[in-house]
Structure 1
Amino acid sequence: MVNLDAEKLVAARRAVEFVEDGQVVGLGTGSTAAHAIREIGRRVREGLQIVAIPTSLATEALARSLGIPLTNFDEHQKIDIAIDGADEIDSNLVAIKGGGGAFLREKIVAQAATRMICIIDSSKLVPQIGAAKLPIEVLPFAAGFVQAAVAAMGAQVSLRRKADGSLFATDQGNAVLDARFGLLSNPEALARKLTSIPGLLAHGLFLSEIDELITGRGDQAECLRRSA
């Protein structure tokens, strides 16, 4: 049986090897990114000199607990390297991200990064994205309107709730819709349609932000870079 968590660690360790002294580092959110954050924390304790921008309050808390120096976009507008996971990604490095709800901040960090590395276990690499739910961050005032608009595009849409039944809220205090479109033959066209809906603040389609993919497969790390 494949140990997916071990594969996540393999990918994380390979990605963290690219972090160098003096860099501004973007820290992702989620179980795979947490492996990378812990590895960065280990290297910081060994003398690595970096500052980091976290993509969520949970990531910020983890980084602080590990002694990783933090900064923000007021101090640094560019990021040298960012490391984050994905819910699904294909061989063209088109991904769905945001199962943890941090995809708006993750997208900002990814676009600010000179080098954006996605780390995954082998189950997340798929021939075609779309089996995973697509998260959509919405202004609470417009949640019903946006939900109807997305449903009219052919998706099954639900308002995300926590385990206790209460509404899920992002770190920005916004609601999240989870949309299922099925396999996506044209994610670029879908992204354009979603972006045109007023009240929709962000979606989890990452079309061009990811520069490099590191997949843990067994005890090996497989690297794939975006074509020029």
Structure 2
Amino acid sequence: MTLREDGPTVTEPEYADWRTFEALSLTPILEQALDLFNENGYHGTTVRQIARRVGVTVPALYYHHESKEAILVALFELQMRELNDRAEAAACDAGADDVVAQFSNVVEAIVLYMTHRVRHVCLDTELRHVSADSRSRYAATRKRLELMVIDLVTEGVATGEFHATHVAETARALLGMCQSIPRWYQSGGALTPDQVAARYVDIALHTVGGSAARARLTSFWTP
């Protein structure tokens, strides 16, 4: 197999249609590592196994990624970049003057990501195995999403659309709720990603106290 790792680790996608999920164009190393990490866990996977799956020598693999941890970190970075970019595209799609639609779209984007990219999100359980510096960088990228949701809830409270008492804690609770979806969601199960998203938007609007806002969206959502 020819190994091509000289360009970006993933094809930079366009998220004008942030509800559409196509397969990511991962490099061979990242694709095989992702499969093995999901199959065997991070500690249960060796660099030699990844190299064997890709069809290269271990030294050839180290030419592109200095360690197994570096491969995992690259996957973490891809995951959070896509999630953040989709959430921002969803907010922009709602228009600048409608905080309820922005909030609803962002929650929908997060839930759709959690249901379409289960293999990627499940890697979060391996975060404890990376260095403190890598964890800090990953936390910074996650903070970008958290601040986005906090800002939307804050604006909704200021405009009277939402009635959350503790804004930051409410935003974190919502994110935790969404990020737990991969623990139970199964592709091909009783609910489609769109159905899960509709239900979680409804729950999120209840959580921020947006009863009037929720009523305004009932014609759009079918939980």
Please, what TM-score do these two structures have when normalized by structure 2? Answer: 0.27
Q: Is the strand fraction higher in 1 or 2?
A: 1
State which structure, 1 or 2, has the greater radius of gyration over its C-alpha atoms.
2
Q: Is the helix fraction higher in 1 or 2?
A: 2
Please, what TM-score do these two structures have when normalized by structure 1? Answer: 0.26
